[in-house]
Amino acid sequence: MAMTLLESAKVADSIENATIIEEYAAQSDILRELPFENHDGSGIHYNREDELPGVGFRGINEGYEESVGVVNPQSEAFKIAGGDLDVDKFILDTQGESVRTVHELQKVKALSLMWTRNFIKGDSRVNPRAFDGLQVRLTGSQLLDNAPSGGPLSLLKLDEAIDQVDGATHLMADKSVRRRLTQAVRNGLGGQIHFDKDEFGKQVMYYNDLPILIADYDNLGNKILGYTEASSDGTSLQCTSIYVMSLGTKKLVGIQGKADGKYGIATRDLGELETKPVKRTRVEWYTALACFHGRAAARLMGITDAAAIA
């Protein structure tokens, strides 16, 4: 059964692991909402649904026309995400063991932001140690053009992108796009927008009943979905994208394997190193992304930072 990280934290085997899992979710909108499936081994093999078999009506003494669905075999290998955190023994002796937790949570925040960037921008051709993100995966009919040379967000095109996803559940965009949607409503261009709060008390905007998840800064302080993308014709290098996703079983999910005999994020206290007076904590996560349906996500590209149009 697929569970979000927040759901996993409720059944964690220790308070420390629960805290770290919750911190991952707190630092990333997508990690808060994306369900994860547990799998043994070094990855998974699965069939992605691309086309349903045909059905229809028949007359008396007639047969049905033979038809089969189309499935494409896929493979996803787990990638190893994590890092080592060293805290000098002098700091621990003078400030107490509690300061170690503060440093651990900083490491978790960095890993969470790195994972979020990879969810969008990951490209195994550039970094074979990382899994492919949505930008690489979405092609063909799931890649929609807002404007060939780049242009203001078209609400019509956004609605088309939503319709292109089977059972859309979420949008993902930069904060600036969220501001443009708010501006569009103020300007009377339409679109149903309302607000609610998530589990951490943060305000979430909904567009046509779909929550807008924010991809903000990564662990290096760079905008994940800033206006640094090229338009489809290559004439503009100041564009961004909106992603439409269907998160859930048999759609778009995260996958994770076993580390230290248990599924999910693992933390190990390695104690004081022999080579230097520091205490080390290691955080590791065997993880990847799986897209079980050919229409589980779509990308609307070529959006410039300008007032939205109808």
Same domain, 180 and 112: no
Q: What does the pLDDT read at residue 218?
A: 94
- Please tell me whether residues 273 and 228 are part of one structural domain: no
Site of tokens 């229809």: 56
Note whether 125 and 26 are same-domain residues: yes
In this structure, the answer to whether residues 259 and 222 fall within a common structural domain is: no
Answer for the pair 185, 308: CB distance below 8 angstroms, yes or no.
no
102 and 170 assigned to the same domain: no
Query: Which residues, given as ranges, of the chain have pLDDT below 50?
Result: 52, 67-71
Q: How far, in Å, CA of 107 to CA of 183, rounded?
A: 36
Asked whether residue 37 falls in the same domain as residue 121, the answer is yes
pLDDT value of residue 70? 41
Helix (H, G, I), strand (E, B) or coil at 164: coil
What length is written for the chain?
Answer: 310
Residues 201 and 242 grouped into a single domain: yes
Shared domain for 27 and 100, answered yes or no, is yes
Tell me the CB-side half-sphere exposure of residue 170, using CA atoms within 13 A: 21
Chain position carrying tokens 């662990």: 219
- Whether residues 89 and 194 share a domain: the answer is no
Q: How many domains does the chain have?
A: 2
pLDDT at 68: 39
Domain span at residue 206? 141-249+295-303
Whole-number pLDDT of residue 65 = 63
Question: What's 91's domain CATH number?
Answer: 3.30.2400.10
Residue 269 lies in a domain: yes
Q: What is the pLDDT of residues 85-102, one digit of tens each?
A: 889 999 999 998 888 888
In this structure, is residue 120 part of a structural domain?
Answer: yes
* pTM score, whole prediction: 0.86
